[in-house]
Chain A
Amino acid sequence: MALLEVHNLGVSFVTRNGTNKAVDDVSFSVESGQITAIIGESGSGKSVACYSLLGLIPQPPGRIDGGRALFGGRDLLQLGERELRKIRGRDIAMVFQDPMTCLNPYMTVGKQLMEPLRYHQNVSPADARRRALELLEEVGIRDPESTIDNYPHQFSGGMRQRVMIAMALINEPQLLIADEPTTALDVTIQAQILQLIAQLQRKRDIGVIFISHDLAVVADIADQIVVMQKGKIVESGDRTGIFQQAQHPYTQKLLSAIPADSKHSELLPAEPLIRVRELCTWFSQGHKQPPLQAVNKVSFDIRRGEVLGLVGESGSGKSTIGRSILRLVPVTSGQVDFDGTDVTALQGRELKKMRRRMQIIFQDPFASLNPRMTVYDTLAEPLLLHGIETRKTVAQGVLKLMDDVGLARHFVRKYPHEFSGGQRQRIAIGRALATRPEFIVADEPVSALDVTIQAQILDLMQALGREYGLTMLFISHDLAVVRHLADRILVLHQGEVVETGSGQELFEHPQQDYTKSLLASIPGRSLLQ
């Protein structure tokens, strides 16, 4: 008998605007010793389905419409809060998406770790602490004795996720629900965490539900795959079945959204638009401390019309390079030539003129768009500021931009919060294009987006790049995404360039160990080969 059997589960959210069926007639099962992956875009109901099993959906507005969820011979949906509480954290434990926000910042890691143990089992404080130390060691926290009494902010994102996993496992649950456990992490860390989950699962022979929006992530570890769209299961089956004979168009779309195709470098003019020589950008860290050498003696050229990919983990200095070129951060030393002019020496009016020719697109379009400005205002501002359009013609200019980035014209009076993440990024791209720039820095422009949306935005950027004849510096932590777009790739590690080459060269013959480790951590690699 399966560890967990869910039959015909239905969950709705009742709001003032009507009832929204978040989960509709969903059935799946999880076997002990297997990983069942539930895949779907955000809003597909994959998390809601799992949370509702544990009574973690606030009711109201949530409402369970029906179904059964058999776990250990009992129907979870029929249990009262008191009985469910005994199961939560003891028999079924959870790991959440963002380890930065899921740990209590006011409590030491050790205390949080021991809490489920102390609450569910009658364990003495000393025994609980010993158990916590063992588990921390097992999930790969170095020197747990000295870090157990630290606060969450003293751990990195990856380490926090390890702590979360330890916390979930401390009562030796039979079922682990991992909700997008690696989405907020860097690729290399993501690979480590995936490996850790798979390894812990095998060792304990427990069942795991792995929720993700990214089919590639689960490709290597899942036994069963359930694909959800708009609250319904569109396809399910074992791993090989899904990857080799996906029937449903949505699954096929997800499969093809895994960025894999290499880009063929076209013939480009030899003369560089941008020449960066010995660029150093250091940040002061308070007095008495050595400056943080975010970027150290980096040199490269970007030819006109070229897309240069910049790859590295967070903290490798890749964003700082982009911002240094645009003079958004003060450059410590070195030279940045843009079309023959040294940008680092420009001041005032000259700098403003230069900025018009260079634009940036940020990772989080919501944070970088002014929430009190409509799309119209956001796009009209640079057009007027740089004198590209007059008051009379600006409306036409705005609509042309909206057409270019694929936004429907009737959205023009809407505010950023009324759009989805992908649409917001389109607005941000439109704003960047408004000044007719020659050069664009795209700083992780798709990292905050779902994979299918990612693919759309990447396609859009590629098309616009050709149409506007743009030169681009494309920054990302994700090699697969960069390869999709870039003519050439620069691998960055701790502020220095480690390796350069075309996507194909890097993927097939990486020279440096660091590049190899980056490549090895691309999810779904087994699929590409």
Chain B
Amino acid sequence: MWRFIGYRLLQAIPVILAVITVTFFLVRAAPGGPFDSEKAVIPEVRAALEAQYRLDQPLLQQYAAYLGDLAQGELGPSFKYPGRSVNELIAAGLPVTAELGFYALLVAIIIGGVAGVIASLKPNTAQDYIPMSVAMIGICMPSFLLGPLLVLVFGIYLDWLPVSGWGDIPGDKILPAITLGSTYAAYIARLSRAGMLEVMSQDYIRTARAKGLPEWQVVTRHALRGGLIPVVAFLGPAFAGLLSGSFVVETIFQIPGLGRFYVQAAFNRDYTMILGTTVFLSTLIVLFNLLSDILAAWMNPRLRAQFREQ
């Protein structure tokens, strides 16, 4: 098992290195620089700034220096927030985004899982079509449409929930979590439906029925575990996607998370911030993928045994 994990982590290194390299040269290839703002900067000041941030050096040298810093865990100083390092900015934004992502994932699992399982029990009937059509809408509806819609209905017409903020008023975390989680809920519904349908057609389900177990026990005791393995394998990529895709929701609901820093950094040509966040998020994605793969393998006794032996 440790060999497997070690192998996967080793595999991740060239992937992340490629991400860094591509991002590094892409942001620099984009027109404009961090100090090309609306106000004209005196040439001397500009030269001093560029020297301070090593922008006057040849590109390859900058690249090597960045990799050197990175090896020590340093993501460098932010260009737009003087005096603050990218590490600090990520540390400030991450907890908020992680919390939001976690709630969204919870929403996605509960709503998606239940809908998918219910749909799978009576395939090709109304019980299947209705949740699955809703799921299709969930996948198609972008969060910049769903968010304001939810705000309009629950925040303004019904006046049940706050329209924005994060942790200020009780209940202000509900709408963002639902908005962010809905797309993933839809994916999970489809995955769990497919997984359950597959398992429910297995011979051992017939065995369970032949034992005289009532249908709900057949589903909960015999089918759920196998049927939900694809969902578990999806959780890793889903959580990574929630973290890196939270920008729109954070903007709609005025949430001070990582996503907003990320997008602002891109507008500002804040090279180190863009790079730092990208490196950080891609590392997270690799880790979460690995984690959910391990978890999914662990749920299958046969793979678990192979795992232990390795």
**A-to-B contact residues, CB < 8 Å:** 54, 56, 85-90, 93-94, 96, 98, 101-107, 115-116, 119-120, 151, 153-154, 164, 167, 286
Contact = CB atoms under 8 A, between A and B. Distances in A.
A105 B302 contact: yes
Given A89-B212, A115-B213, A120-B212, A56 B206 contact: yes
Interface string B187-213: 000000000000000111011111111
A102 B204 CA distance: 4
Contacts of A56: 206, 209-210
Given A89-B212, A116-B212, A106 B226 contact: yes
A102 B203 CA distance: 5
Q: Which of the listed residues B204, B217, B302, B310 has the most CB atoms from chain A within 10 Å of its own CB? A: B204
The contact size tier of chain B is 20 to 34
B135 to A, nearest CB: 25
B10 to A, nearest CB: 18
Given A96-B203, A96-B207, A105 B300 contact: yes
Contacts of B208: 104, 115
Contacts of A104: 204, 207-208, 222, 226
6 contacts: A85-B212, A87-B212, A88-B209, A89-B211, A104-B204, A286-B310
Contact of A119 (B212, B225, B309): B212
Contacts of A88: 209-212
B222 A107 contact: yes
Contacts of B214: 85
Given A104-B222, A105-B300, A116 B203 contact: no
B305 A154 contact: yes
Nearest to B224: A106
A-B pairs with lowest CB-CB distance, top 5: A89-B212, A88-B212, A89-B211, A151-B301, A101-B203
Contacts of A151: 301-302, 305
B213 A106 contact: no
A153 B301 contact: yes
Contacts of A89: 210-213
B225 A106 contact: yes
B206 A116 contact: no
B299 interface: yes
A518 B244 CA distance: 64
A56 to B, nearest CB: 6
Contacts of A101: 202-204
A164 B206 CA distance: 13
B121 to A, nearest CB: 12
Contacts of A102: 203-204, 206-207
Given A104-B222, A106-B301, A151-B301, A98 B203 contact: yes
Contacts of B226: 104-106
Which of B210, B213, B222, B301 has the most chain A CB atoms inside 10 A of its CB? B210
A54 B210 contact: yes
Contacts of B211: 88-89, 93, 115-116, 119, 167
Given A106-B299, A106-B301, A154-B305, A94 B210 contact: yes
Contacts of A115: 208, 211, 213, 221
A157 to B, nearest CB: 14
Contacts of B310: 286
A103 B300 contact: no
Contacts of A87: 212
B196 to A, nearest CB: 13
Nearest to A82: B214
Interface in B106-152: none
Nearest to B301: A151
A119 B213 CA distance: 7
B309 to A, nearest CB: 8
A509 B171 CA distance: 86
Contacts of B305: 151, 153-154
Greatest chain B CB density within 10 A among A93, A98, A106 is at A106
B206 A90 contact: no
A71 to B, nearest CB: 14
A88 B208 CA distance: 10
A130 to B, nearest CB: 19
Interface string B241-276: 000000000000000000000000000000000000
Contacts of A54: 210
B59 to A, nearest CB: 45
Nearest to B208: A104
A96 B202 CA distance: 12
Contacts of B301: 105-106, 151, 153
A114 B300 CA distance: 21
Contacts of A103: 204, 207
A111 to B, nearest CB: 9
Nearest to A168: B210
A310 to B, nearest CB: 30
A93 B203 contact: no
Nearest to B215: A81
A104 B221 CA distance: 10
A49 to B, nearest CB: 15
Contacts of A90: 212
A106 B300 contact: yes
Nearest to B223: A104
Contacts of B300: 105-106
Nearest to B222: A104
A497 to B, nearest CB: 32
Nearest to B211: A89
Nearest to B225: A106
A101 B204 CA distance: 6
Given A102-B206, A105-B300, 5 more contacts: A54-B210, A102-B203, A115-B213, A115-B221, A164-B207
A125 to B, nearest CB: 15
B210 A93 contact: yes
A88 B206 CA distance: 12
A86 B204 contact: no
A442 to B, nearest CB: 29
Contacts of B209: 56, 88
Contacts of A153: 301-302, 305
B93 to A, nearest CB: 40
Nearest to A99: B203
B171 to A, nearest CB: 39
Nearest to B302: A153
Interface string B270-310: 00000000000000000000000000000111100100011
A118 B137 CA distance: 44
B139 to A, nearest CB: 29
B192 to A, nearest CB: 16
Nearest to A84: B212
A239 B221 CA distance: 42
Contacts of A105: 204, 226, 300-302
A107 B224 CA distance: 12
A94 B211 CA distance: 8
A153 B204 CA distance: 13
Contact of A96 (B206, B299, B302, B309): B206
A120 B213 CA distance: 9
B212 A86 contact: yes
A88 B301 CA distance: 28
A116 B203 CA distance: 17
Q: Which of B212, B214, B226 has the most chain A CB within a 10 Å cutoff?
A: B212
A94 B210 CA distance: 7
